[in-house]
Structure 1
């Protein structure tokens, strides 16, 4: 791998470009998280004029797009997905260069994104109205689904292709137009996605809008934005919901997680931990579905520490473009600082530092943002490492004596995204299935969701319908009752 600094022209604030020649408010340079001296691009940030122009264009394009027959819309979206698949190598390189994950993880992200998107095309073919009995012989009662208008998709930096497609594809299929605002830290892949739609999707149907929190706020508050789909932190999600509420704009919020894996007395510990540690450390733990808590039967504690030490030692940290890399960097300096801070507070509050716990500099990436895989022993459920989303390669180790105690610990946080249970006891399986306060539960199965299943959280992990699955199409439409004589 050779280091490459991008000296390309500054990327536009919006795409397709609407206001050539206008001086942007600011242009921001992005740097590789694996090497903070390497530029990965320079991006204009939209101002309020840009945002308003983009929303106006999306609104103007809505009528013709919604009136296009669904089979035709689906064919155009399918063609767009084919161009994305043909550009997978470029997109994977952009993901790795700006987000940091190893190339094989970036390629896996693109593959899963496309499978989910194509599943949504199949769901859309069967989504729509239905007829109910009428109390009058000469009358028909119809319940139909109508698109909303221009929607805003506000996306985080950890999955630069998957999250945009999860929001944009279902919105477009049911007849909405979309404005995609990616994270300011990883805009390259999103810009490529939208550029790949040029010449396939009609003008104004899909636009890219670049910027930070102020641009997101302008989109959410805009009176012509008819729905907001957001993935990110609980705090930001709460702000978005409050601003959108002023316009009665519906929101879909995919928020954080504090996901636990319960390891029962009878599980095959080495085999199970291979799955659990992979789920914890992919993307350097920067996933809302990352396993961040191990709740293990007390008889397993010492063996878990031993196996964690062996697994962590095998990981090779470095630039994700190097084939042997199995642990990438933390994406931003701010996130690295936050991880350091929560580990320090956890130890100060009584957690036992069992493994890792510090930032470090791999030989091959001495200027990168890296944090050691970390295991913290926690007996206090109020410890910050148990209660707060770390979003890094940090696991807590907690023990239990009975299934009831395990469930109590599982449910003892404000989050409710996903969880895993490894047990061969059918009674324990049924008990956890009925009592776990999570949107997604995996029993004797790793935490990777299927491409056709709803991706959804409860409690502080989400609001509204899930992304992926049939219900996501419902979010981007409104129901209409029609009485026809």
Structure 2
């Protein structure tokens, strides 16, 4: 496979072939670690989207009629190919995102391979109700069938991982896919499609590169029956409105603004050590990042001192810096967004450490801790999606839970305490799809990943995620 750094254009993958946009239009690709252009990607228009959706629909009949064992074998072979091409995939990912190569190879790529292998096995284990005579003389059977052509839109923070989270369950359930990766990070998704093409019939997996207009064309295409997106709340709202006109099914994994409850019986040094790493992984560009730390007032100052000391030692760096804890922000726009929120901080807040970019090429920003924020402040209510964490005090358990729930998002939260009963009360009271106890951010393929309220609906990962890509048919004999 060619070195992606030498490719001038990332092409679409439609009906088993790599093709440019029909119009010849392209979008620039910029390396966030340097701020320099490193290539271009196809800028697909309605003609390209239509070709991909038609290819998917043609391929759907044959793929949906294959056995689960056949689909399992294909997914396992794709997973093996991902492992074999680890270095090539890493080059693609880190050039588009700027993240440390070491961390991608150690953390993200193994998780990508694992999720593909998980859904390979899950393809053969669809759950369902037992066949039975629920009325005399009639036997009822439930069938779970593919939804059809699935449009999938993935973000720029974990390009390959989010593509795998979307593609693997859809293919395992027998659907055909048209994936649109982020306009700034399409390279690894295009490589995934090329690898998968060796093990899938043409048209089963298609990738169209492009911008927001490409996404709009895909969402509204009449052959699409399900739209799955990982992205911002605003993007989810726009997509939901567009999909409603054709009553398409929706699977929305949207923004987060994760609260972290630290009680006065927690091990402060250990908690500060773990959270200093977990909050800033991937430069905080993670929908489950530990961004709002709520600390009991009795230990607030001690925690802030310990936490800020560890955060100040974190090292932003380019992809080949083996000591880097995280890389740059993904784009100039994202850097400007983070800096804008910090510039708008009200006078009652204090930046304890960080607060500024780094004087070097690229979109690097210092890890930042803010104290003194009030619940109604923008920095608390809005997802920063960068290396910025707020720390707020609380007086008792009811106030901690109230502050934790008092935002629009509801994806993830964590609770740090030695009190088992208190932890279990929190798991019930927190309005989120995920709650971690004395840890934060870990995902496993066997458990669902999704949120509530403005964090969307539907789940990635797990059998729940697989079932989201099926529809139920009742057959009575």
- One fold, TM greater than 0.5? yes
CA contact (8 A) 1:128 1:144 kept: no
Mapped partners of 1:470, 1:242: distance in 2: 28
User: 2:447 matched to 1:453?
Assistant: yes
Q: Quick one: which of 419, 440, 446 aligns to 1:425?
A: 419
2:475 maps to 482
Report the aligned-residue RMSD: 1.8
2:58 maps to 60
Q: Quick one: which of 393, 397, 418 aligns to 2:391?
A: 397
Mapped partners of 2:253, 2:49: distance in 1: 23
Alignment of 1:15-164 (within 5 A): 15=14, 24-37=23-36, 39-107=37-105, 108-127=107-126, 129-164=128-163
SS across alignment from 1:191: helix
Label 1:19 to 1:257 Cα distance change in 2 as closer, same or farther (>3 A). Answer: closer
Shift of 1:22: 6.8
1:441 maps to 435
2:295 maps to 296
Shift of 1:141: 0.3
User: 2:220 matched to 1:221?
Assistant: yes
Q: Once structures 1 and 2 are overlaid, which stretch shifts more, 132-141 or 440-449?
A: 132-141
Alignment of 1:171-190 (within 5 A): 171-190=170-189
CA contact (8 A) 1:171 1:177 kept: yes
Shift of 1:142: 0.6
Q: Once structures 1 and 2 are overlaid, which stretch shifts more, 216-225 or 321-330?
A: 321-330
Q: Quick one: which of 419, 440, 464 aligns to 1:471?
A: 464
SS across alignment from 1:371: coil
CA contact (8 A) 2:368 2:387 kept: yes
2:404 maps to 410
2:244 maps to 245
SS across alignment from 2:292: strand
CA contact (8 A) 2:280 2:326 kept: yes
2:349 maps to 351
TM-score, scaled to structure 2: 0.95
Label 1:176 to 1:20 Cα distance change in 2 as closer, same or farther (>3 A). Answer: closer
Q: Once structures 1 and 2 are overlaid, which stretch shifts more, 4-13 or 113-122?
A: 4-13
Shift of 1:137: 4.5
TM-score, scaled to structure 1: 0.94
Label 1:88 to 1:21 Cα distance change in 2 as closer, same or farther (>3 A). Answer: closer
Mapped partners of 2:380, 2:284: distance in 1: 15
Q: Unmatched 5+ residue regions in structure 1?
A: none
CA contact (8 A) 1:295 1:399 kept: yes
Mapped partners of 1:292, 1:49: distance in 2: 41
CA contact (8 A) 2:145 2:473 kept: yes
Shift of 1:128: 5.1
2:253 maps to 254
Q: Deviations over 1:167-192 (max 9, x none)?
A: 11100011100111100111110010
SS across alignment from 1:201: coil
Q: Deviations over 1:191-210 (max 9, x none)?
A: 10000012210111001100
Alignment of 1:363-382 (within 5 A): 366-382=360-376
Mapped partners of 2:135, 2:297: distance in 1: 66
Q: Deviations over 1:433-462 (max 9, x none)?
A: 221111100112232122211001111111
CA contact (8 A) 2:4 2:91 kept: no
Mapped partners of 1:358, 1:421: distance in 2: 29
SS across alignment from 1:346: coil
Shift of 1:116: 2.1
Mapped partners of 2:414, 2:20: distance in 1: 53
Shift of 1:10: 2.4
Shift of 1:273: 1.4
SS across alignment from 2:383: coil
Mapped partners of 1:368, 1:355: distance in 2: 21
Q: Quick one: which of 459, 462, 466 aligns to 2:456?
A: 462
Shift of 1:431: 2.1
SS across alignment from 1:207: strand
Q: Unmatched 5+ residue regions in structure 2?
A: none
Mapped partners of 1:293, 1:344: distance in 2: 18
Mapped partners of 2:5, 2:121: distance in 1: 39
SS across alignment from 2:203: coil
CA contact (8 A) 1:58 1:150 kept: yes
Alignment of 1:324-343 (within 5 A): 324-343=323-342
Mapped partners of 1:20, 1:30: distance in 2: 18
